[in-house]
Homo-oligomer: A and B are copies of this chain.
């Protein structure tokens, strides 16, 4: 496990901080915590990262009042990208968020082919691409670099590797997302090694 930037410097009493942060996280979905972090990053001029709206196709809208136009019929459309992107330290950042209850590995089935294709394209174009992976039962989340994800994915497709990424891989090679007071879910502090590549 790599430690996020500045974890020791900023958290002299990290046990206490992690406790309160863990308390603050209770009941907050992963998406809510990421959105909250993004709001913090934006307000403080650290990063400008947003979740993309759910793609839908609208069939029927009731325009009776312009202020309250009501969509009466619409359908979900398959996404072609990941859910989050934006700018951090002048660089293009792109990621998706994944959760698993599994304590021993992240099953590759929770990642979709279009997300793999998109992340691969972003990597090729020089962007910072990753997954935020939460092991819910362990109350731990990691930044999984897209490059490592793609290695596991490609090996599995060739029947040359496991169909999941072992928890040990995260422990030994990826960066933990530290729980702080503000923002509670400071995932950008965990992508430092990706920025340096």
Contact = CB atoms under 8 A, between A and B. Distances in A.
A53 B50 contact: no
A122 B72 contact: no
A130 to B, nearest CB: 14
B87 A125 contact: yes
Contacts of A164: none
Number of copies: 2
Contact of A69 (B68, B71, B76): B76
Interface in A22-49: 42, 45, 47-48
Interface in A57-81: 58, 68-77, 80-81
Given A48-B122, A71-B75, A92 B81 contact: no
A2 interface: no
A59 B164 CA distance: 36
Interface of A: 42, 45, 47-48, 50, 52-56, 58, 68-77, 80-81, 85-94, 118, 121-122, 124-127
